[in-house]
Structure 1
Amino acid sequence: MNKNYAQMRSYIDRNKFTFTESDEQNCKRIDVQNGKAKCVVKVYSTGTIQLQGAESKLKQSLQQAKEAVENEEDIGEVLPFEIERFPEVLRERISGVDPIVVRFVEEAILTLKAGSNLGCAFLLGGASEKAILLLVDAYAKAIPDEAMRNRFVSRTSGKFISKVFDEFKGSWKSSTNKPSGYGWTNDIEIKIEQVFQFCRICRNEAGHPHLPPNLDKGVLLANMGQFVKYVEDLYELIRFYEQNQVQFAAA
């Protein structure tokens, strides 16, 4: 029982769920809560793990951990609860988020759970690229001068995403109006470029057979942990340029 209990407790700790522990006859009990969802985990002296509570994302997450422990699998292979919820969180936090972005994230999670690091990297790169292209399109439409807008579009249309981003970044840095708040008055690298470049490079490694793929699951998980905030930042810029024209200093 001690081993199974320790693994379940470790999983609960790792996901920062609120919990209390108690002893019952022949078992140890953990009352777990995440938001409004509640679940009871009981680990018996025989090693059997029992879950009690209404169906919820929390219970589904704990069920995955339970099955991994009972099958003597590495519980570290169970995805952190917050990553499982990424598609739902994107819809909750970003009104009108593009369904292609969400679908690619959903598929990335499925491939990661299936043990396909390359598939996850490729799909996450696709989600990132779609979000970047939405931003570039919104930015182009917000350039009021037709000649300048046409030049920007010609420099970004049909190009590799790395070139598209470089063109956007150069134009954005020369613009004089940006969203207010932390980060936007500084370099765009702080809020967007680091995650964008990681997703792009990983996608290239996964999709180009002449490059030796070397994608560690832990690295993918760490960067997936930043992905929701990254998409939120992109949409903050998109909304800004849907409501404001791009301004440049007078020549």
Structure 2
Amino acid sequence: MSDIMERNYAQMKSYIERNKFPFAEKEEQGCKRLDVQHGKAKCAVKVYTTGTIQLQGVDSKLKQSLDEAKNAVENEEDLGEVLPFEIEQFPEVLTENIPNIDPIIVRFVAEAIVSLKAGSNLGCAFLLGGASEKAFFLLVDTYAKAIPDETMKGRFTSRTSGKFISKVYDEFKNSWKSSLNKPTGYGWTNDIEIKIEQIFQFCRICRNEAGHPHLPPNLDKGVLLANMGQFVKYVEDLYAMIGFYEANDVQF
């Protein structure tokens, strides 16, 4: 077996393992084969002695992801530049998991992924921050409407309307902590930092760095990817709170 075959095969296998795709290995005449599966999608990856990589299977998101990896390997590019399959799927996952999600959030997340693939870390950070702020402002608006006492509602609204996002978050957090009823389940009985604040603050700070020229941007792609990996769960948690306050009044 040739060195180029072994090298290309090892890189494709590493990419498949990194994305946690179930797979099986076998050897065929003149090639080594990986049978890969993700949900109902299946794809065969064949690596020949010349180093050529061939994909077999019907068109699917899985095949598209493997095709990007194939092109990177064959062109001797850094396979690390190919985004994890999980992140590529975020727009579809958000729409599936949150049927009533605001389309602006999905559009911003999709554009953030496009920007990251194009090497625009600043563009990705700005768009991800926009998606985060849209989801958070929807929560604040729903929370305000759920305050039954008109005087208290007016005070909360006056403290959050037209303010910087950091100020709005602080006001919401203080009001939420003083409320008596909260969503039930893991995490909600503890501080809000567990489910919301970490990703919210990351997205806010990154958006500030990308959107304000006087701040020196220092956005590492690895850091963006690590936090994007948690973004779907973050938006799901925000929408869980939105759903709770659509069905329940805020109690003090």
Q: TM-score, normalised by structure 1?
A: 0.98
One-letter amino acid of the counterpart of residue 73, structure 2: V
Match of 1:170 in 2: 174
Residue 103 (structure 1) aligned to one of 63, 82, 107: 107
| Distance in 2, Cα, partners of 1:196 & 1:179 | 19
Per the alignment, residue 236 of structure 1 pairs with 240
- Cα deviation, 1:154-191, whole Å, max 9, x if unaligned, reads 11011111111100000000000001101111100000
Residue in structure 1 matched with residue 219 of structure 2 by the alignment = 215
Aligned with 2:191 (options 163, 176, 187): 187
What's 1:149 paired with? 153
Does residue 1:33 correspond to 2:23, yes or no? no
- In structure 2, distance between residues paired with 1:234 and 1:219: 22
2:6 corresponds to 1:15: no
Query: 2: CA distance between counterparts of 1:213 and 1:131?
Result: 24
> Which sections of structure 2, spanning at least 5 residues, go unmatched?
none
Deviation at 1:75, TM superposition (A): 0.3
Q: Distance in 1 between matches of 2:50 and 2:99?
A: 48
- Per the alignment, residue 57 of structure 1 pairs with 61
Shift of 1:22: 0.2
Give the letter aligned to residue 99 of structure 2: S
Distance in 2 between the 1:112 and 1:173 partners? 36
Determine the structure 2 residue equivalent to 1:134. Answer: 138
Give aligned-pair identity as a percent.
Answer: 81
What TM-score do you get using the length of structure 2 for normalisation? Answer: 0.98
Structure 1: unaligned runs, 5 residues or longer: none
1:43 aligns with 2:47: yes
For the residue of structure 2 that corresponds to 1:136, the secondary structure is helix
Q: Which amino acid aligns with 1:146?
A: E
1:68 aligns with 2:75: no
User: What is the rounded CA distance, in whole Å, between the counterparts of 1:110 and 1:84 in structure 2?
Assistant: 9
Deviation (angstroms), 1:95: 1.7
What is the CA–CA distance in structure 2 between the aligned matches of 1:13 and 1:180, rounded to whole Å?
36
Give, in angstroms, the shift of residue 227 of structure 1. Answer: 0.1
Give the letter for the 1:230 counterpart. Y
- Residue 204 of structure 2 aligns to a residue whose secondary structure is helix
Q: CA offset at residue 242 of structure 1?
A: 0.1
1:193 shift after superposition: 0.3
Residue 115 in structure 1 maps to residue 113 in structure 2: no
TM-superposed deviation, 1:153: 0.6
Deviation at 1:37?
0.5
Q: Structure 1, residues 3-52: CA drift from partner, whole Å, max 9, x if none?
A: 11111001001000000000001000000001110000000000000000
Query: 1:225: which partner in 2?
Result: 229
| Partner SS for 2:187 | coil
Distance 1:85 1:178 in 2: 31
Provide the rounded CA distance (Å) in 2 between the counterparts of 1:138 and 1:71.
50
Question: What SS does the aligned partner of 1:158 have?
Answer: coil
The CA RMSD measured in Å over matched residues stands at 0.4
Which consecutive segments of 4 or more residues in structure 1 shift more than 4 A?
none
Aligned length: 248
Q: Partner amino acid for 1:105?
A: V
- Give the letter aligned to residue 112 of structure 1: L
Equivalent AA in structure 2 for residue 109 of structure 1:
I
1:122 match: secondary structure: helix
- 1:92 equivalent among 86, 89, 96: 96
